[in-house]
Amino acid sequence: MGLIFSRNGNSKSVKLNKQLCICLLLGHIFLLLLIDRQIVNQSQIGCAISGMFLHFIFLCAFMWMALEGFFIYHQLVLVFPTGSNLSTRTYFIIGYGVPSGIVGTTAAVSFGTDTYGYGAVHREILLPNTTIMIFELTATIAIVNASV
């Protein structure tokens, strides 16, 4: 919490750490509050929105971890400036844009095909439909293979 409210938050590494801490904090708080649909008396739509939010916030946390690793790699391994430093705005666009694209695609496929990956009637929030999981796994493998 001290990192979030510190006054010397002008460096890029502190900004990356702040975003990671905020995502993890929000994710853990909402996970504890929304883990069981019966406790908070959510409807199916509320459960779907909760699942989408949790999916988004934890994907953001993983993306910020990856961006922090990329930043540290550039700072420590590539000691000499190469002119390929990303701006803080670019980090923010990647840190929140990629997860929103993934969650948006998953929601579009889930609700477009009536598979109810988010907010299934007989499932809890954290147990998505296997069709959606297979789609996400296949898409991730295809993207990684295409980039290599």
In the numeric block, the tokens 């649909």 are attached to 37
pLDDT the model gives residue 15:
87
* In a domain? residue 7: no
More confident residue, 40 or 128: 40
* In a domain? residue 140: yes
Q: How many domains does the chain have?
A: 1
* 82 three-state secondary structure: coil
* In a domain? residue 5: no
Q: What is the DSSP letter of 147?
A: H
d(CA 109, CA 106): 5
Q: How many beta carbons lie within 10 A of that of residue 131, not counting itself?
A: 14
* In a domain? residue 127: yes
pLDDT the model gives residue 14:
86
Q: How many residues does the chain have?
A: 148
* In a domain? residue 120: yes
pLDDT tens-digit profile of 111-120?
A: 777 666 676 5
pLDDT of 1 strictly over 90: no
* In a domain? residue 4: no
d(CA 12, CA 91): 9
Averaged pLDDT for residues 61-86: 82
pTM: 0.70
pLDDT tens-digit profile of 2-58?
A: 555 556 656 888 888 899 999 999 988 888 877 765 666 667 777 778 888 888 999
Share of the chain above pLDDT 70, in %: 69
Domain extent for 113: 12-147
pLDDT tens-digit profile of 95-107?
A: 999 999 998 888 8
d(CA 110, CA 120): 10
Q: Is 84 exposed, middle or buried (0-12, 13-18, 19+ CB in 10 A)?
A: exposed
* In a domain? residue 85: yes
Averaged pLDDT for residues 63-79: 85
* In a domain? residue 2: no
pLDDT the model gives residue 98:
92
Cα distances from 33 to residues 46, 94, 134, in angstroms, run 13, 28, 28
pLDDT the model gives residue 51:
82
Tell me the backbone φ, ψ of residue 122, rounded to 5 degrees.
-100, 15
